Amino acid sequence: MFLTQSCTNKPSSNSLPPLKIDIPEELKKNNEIVKFIKASEEAINLYSDTAEELAEDCKSFAGKKEEELNMLDKVKMVAALGKFTSNFAQFASKYNEMEDQTKILEEGLNEEQAVALTTVMEAFKNRMEQLEEKYKNIADQPK
């Protein structure tokens, strides 16, 4: 999946829409959590957009062996993977912060609020599943 996304500069027209996390009523009055959810939403969308771009950029390489690629294809693939790696590093940092912040925030919440906060991590998991499903057969998609 990752090899097929970093070759373009923008998501294709069939990209998944930006993820919008609905803030549960139990958490709307907690400004710190609202900021956290919005930051998490941005991080998830960064990852999703990066994965979509990689998939679109690398469709023509999917399923091919290295010896089947010409020099220009190899250069495009390296550039795409470099861009993906850079964007993924940004996401990974944000994701680690998101996980750490989730643990800290949960400590000051009642049970109902803590359950509501898990919606952020669930939203992330759901987006990963959507991406995996969409690109599981990338080599078979039209180039």
pLDDT of residue 12: 52
pLDDT of residue 58: 78
Low-confidence ranges of the chain (pLDDT < 70): 1-13, 138-143
pLDDT of residue 6: 38
Helix (H, G, I), strand (E, B) or coil at 102: helix
| Residue 6 backbone phi and psi in degrees, to 5 | -90, 15
Helix (H, G, I), strand (E, B) or coil at 6: strand
Domain ranges of the chain: 2-8+27-140
Q: What is the pTM of this model?
A: 0.68
Look up tokens 């959590």; give the residue.
Answer: 33
pLDDT of residue 116: 75
pLDDT of residue 142: 52
pLDDT of residue 13: 60
